[in-house]
């Protein structure tokens, strides 16, 4: 039996948030529907931030409502604070991805709060969610950004990551995301950090979020797989590069990640050809977007379907 | 103590052989010298094939002779046959990299011989080398191309790879190269193939040669590292893409590989900044060459030097 892996699309949030051109709501919904149709079961569709801050997410409401109509899709959204959580609850999103930085400096620059204060904010969010009727309670996920390095502080101590992981779980997180926000991680570090976190979090699932900024995204995924991680964020065509580094890779490329896992014998539940086809839709809607990805360029290996079926993990 | 890794530059052979523009001999030698200066200790500088077949290697003699003047550098060259071995011996190259395909179809298309016949040819090459006076005997290395997949035959049986690995060693190979010639490999397959080969080859060192065609190059390196492999081929700026797929990645990018290993705590002996600087030299000599690579684009992480020293494997 193949090990199941959950792939989570974050391009609509992590990819679009830095893109200067507004992607029409209909195009976002077509993207979400097409990717869900290819077998991606969880999509972070937007971010509940003030439109003044990030105009790209001014359509958070219709995007959430549209995504919720897709049967079987886990619809998630990023929230920076309590107000975001309130909006998510009102809209009926399935999961709230709260994000705080393990790096105090990064957190301060991002949300003008210390990391400790962000944990307190998270407690308030959980309290708000728990005060709703059961059917109206979204899942609450705690994201630890800069967990594998920070552009201000450099490498982050493993103990620091573990500390905040434990605090978020004690506060009520039902899932964690450990994120290499700036693409600093290497596979040895990934093993060290994920092993340490997994040893402390009990049964709470941990997802990995890697950026391919320095080319190590898929190698880092393999290191996390070795630790037992089975949930991975990625973005179609690797969307999510830094706006100040043209051509720089962003998140791990979803199509390549999917190919790697499928080829290794894991069960992603995704049809790669259908997934690759979604690129055309994104590129038609945002022609100025630079799309990354090796599988889209090189194609699947000769005899691939048969070979992949021959080698279950 | 850090584990030593030997990185071997193959861009001058694998990268240039498909490039239509002749790179001036002086530029090749400047490239070799600069890369050796950065700490790369082994470079495949050319291929001993008839210039009519590949005009790029018409200067194999001056390139070999020039490279041999660089103190401390292991100078290697590819040979397709006995005539190539003869030239290598005459020129005094340090190591002959003989290549045959594990895929019979690929071998037939490439050298109009079955894989079994190519093993016989290798025996003759070893006999020729052993007939030289001791000081004039280059090392003889047996390369197994298409070992992780073939564009004609698809996936190759592990037993087939092991069979030819054993035959080359019985014939006298002092080193093996197991190559993913067309970029089909995934990390699970790499583990399966390298474990099986290593179990049979005794003390003969095995090197890994990966292409990044489908984005899995560095993940595959990690899988081979896990098996105990410590010798890796790569090419500066990932040179070596397919001439029929513009922008396609070629070999694993040397700078990114070097960064990954260094960051993981391995001892590559290479100065990354000096290595990255060599790109300018190649690109000045061949402006139409497309250079790949994430580290050259994104730069090293903040505080990287200190961090890398903190995390030995």
Contact partners, residue A130, CB within 8 Å, separation at least 6: A137, A172
ipTM: 0.91
B 280-299 residues with CB < 8 A to A: 293-295, 297-298
Homologous superfamily of domain range A6-310 = Aldolase class I (3.20.20.70)
pLDDT tens figures, A135-175: 999 999 999 999 999 999 999 999 999 999 999 999 999 99
Question: For position A258, what pLDDT does the model report?
Answer: 98
| Listed range (A120-124, A154-158, A287-291, B252-256) with the worst mean pLDDT | A287-291
Partners of A258 on chain B (C-beta within 8 Å) are none
Other CB atoms within a 10 A radius of the CB of residue A99 amount to: 23
Given pLDDT bands bounded at 50, 70 and 90, which one contains residue B165?
very high
A 176-195 residues with CB < 8 A to B: 182-184, 186-189, 192
pLDDT tens figures, B42-54: 999 999 999 999 9
Domains of chain A, by residue range, sit at 6-310
Nearest-Cα residue of chain B relative to residue A190: B264
Average pLDDT score over residue span B37-62: 97
Q: Please give the positions of B annotated as active site.
A: 242
The whole-angstrom separation of Cα A220 and Cα A167 is 25
Question: For position B164, what pLDDT does the model report?
Answer: 98
B 205-264 residues with CB < 8 A to A: 212-216, 218-219, 221-223, 245, 247-249, 253, 256, 259-260, 263-264
Average pLDDT score over residue span A62-73: 98
**Are B215 and A295 within 8 A, CB to CB?**
yes
| CB-nearest partner of A297 from B153, B245, B307 | B245
Dihedral, CA atoms, A125, A126, A132, A133, nearest 10 degrees? Answer: 160
**CB of A254 closer than 8 Å to CB of A234:** yes
Nearest-Cα residue of chain B relative to residue A148: B301
**Cα A17 from chain centroid?**
13
Residue B94: closest CA among B111, B79, B110: B79
Partners of B182 on chain A (C-beta within 8 Å) are 301
Question: For position A245, what pLDDT does the model report?
Answer: 52
The whole-angstrom separation of Cα A234 and Cα A38 is 15
CA B303 to each of CA A99, A186, B307: distance values in angstroms, whole numbers, following the listed order: 24, 14, 6
**Are B301 and A259 within 8 A, CB to CB?**
no
Q: What percent of chain B has pLDDT over 70?
A: 95
**CB of A184 closer than 8 Å to CB of A149:** yes
pLDDT(B309) > 80? no
Chain B closest-CA separation from residue A85 CA (Å): 33
pLDDT tens figures, A221-255: 999 999 999 999 999 999 986 655 555 569 999 99
Question: For position B303, what pLDDT does the model report?
Answer: 86
**Are B247 and A222 within 8 A, CB to CB?**
no
**CB of A2 closer than 8 Å to CB of A263:** no
Chain A closest-CA separation from residue B149 CA (Å): 8
Given pLDDT bands bounded at 50, 70 and 90, which one contains residue B290?
confident
Q: What percent of chain A has pLDDT over 90?
A: 89
**CB of A143 closer than 8 Å to CB of A98:** yes
The whole-angstrom separation of Cα A239 and Cα A248 is 10
The whole-angstrom separation of Cα A139 and Cα B287 is 53
Contacts A–B by Cβ distance under 8 A: 149
Residue A296: closest CA among A268, A281, A277: A277
pLDDT(A308) > 70? no
The whole-angstrom separation of Cα B199 and Cα B191 is 12
**Are B253 and A303 within 8 A, CB to CB?**
no
pLDDT tens figures, B184-232: 999 999 999 999 999 999 999 999 999 999 999 999 999 999 999 999 9
The whole-angstrom separation of Cα B60 and Cα A8 is 51
Give pTM, 2 decimals. Answer: 0.94
């Amino acid at each position: 039996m193949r090990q199941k892996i959950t792939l989570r699309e974050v391009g609509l949030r992590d990819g679009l948030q830095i893109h200067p051109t507004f992607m029409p709501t209909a195009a976002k919904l077509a993207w979400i529907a097409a990717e869900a149709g290819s077998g991606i079961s969880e999509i972070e569709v937007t971010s509940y931030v003030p439109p003044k801050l990030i105009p790209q997410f001014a359509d958070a409401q219709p995007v959430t409502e549209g995504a919720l109509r897709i049967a079987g899709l886990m619809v998630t959204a990023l929230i920076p604070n309590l107000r975001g959580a309130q909006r998510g609850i009102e809209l009926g999103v399935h999961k709230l991805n709260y994000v705080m930085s393990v790096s105090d400096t990064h957190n301060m620059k991002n949300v003008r709060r210390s990391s400790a204060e962000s944990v307190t904010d998270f407690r308030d969010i959980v309290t708000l969610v728990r005060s709703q009727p059961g059917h109206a309670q979204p899942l609450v996920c705690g994201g630890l950004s800069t967990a594998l390095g920070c552009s201000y502080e450099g490498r982050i101590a493993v103990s620091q990551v573990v500390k905040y992981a434990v605090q978020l779980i004690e506060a009520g997180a039902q899932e964690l995301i450990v994120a290499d926000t700036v693409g600093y991680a290497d596979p040895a570090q990934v093993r060290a950090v994920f092993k340490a976190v997994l040893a402390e979090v009990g049964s709470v699932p941990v997802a990995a979020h890697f950026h391919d900024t320095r080319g190590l995204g898929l190698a880092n995924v393999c290191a996390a797989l070795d630790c037992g991680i089975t949930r991975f964020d990625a973005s179609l065509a690797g969307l999510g590069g830094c706006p100040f580094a043209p051509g720089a890779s962003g998140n791990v490329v979803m199509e390549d990640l999917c190919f790697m896992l499928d080829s290794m014998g894991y069960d992603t539940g995704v049809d790669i050809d259908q997934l690759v086809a979604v690129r055309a839709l994104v590129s038609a809607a945002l022609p100025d977007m630079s799309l990354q990805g090796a599988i889209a360029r090189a194609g699947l290996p000769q005899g691939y379907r048969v070979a992949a079926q021959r080698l279950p993990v």
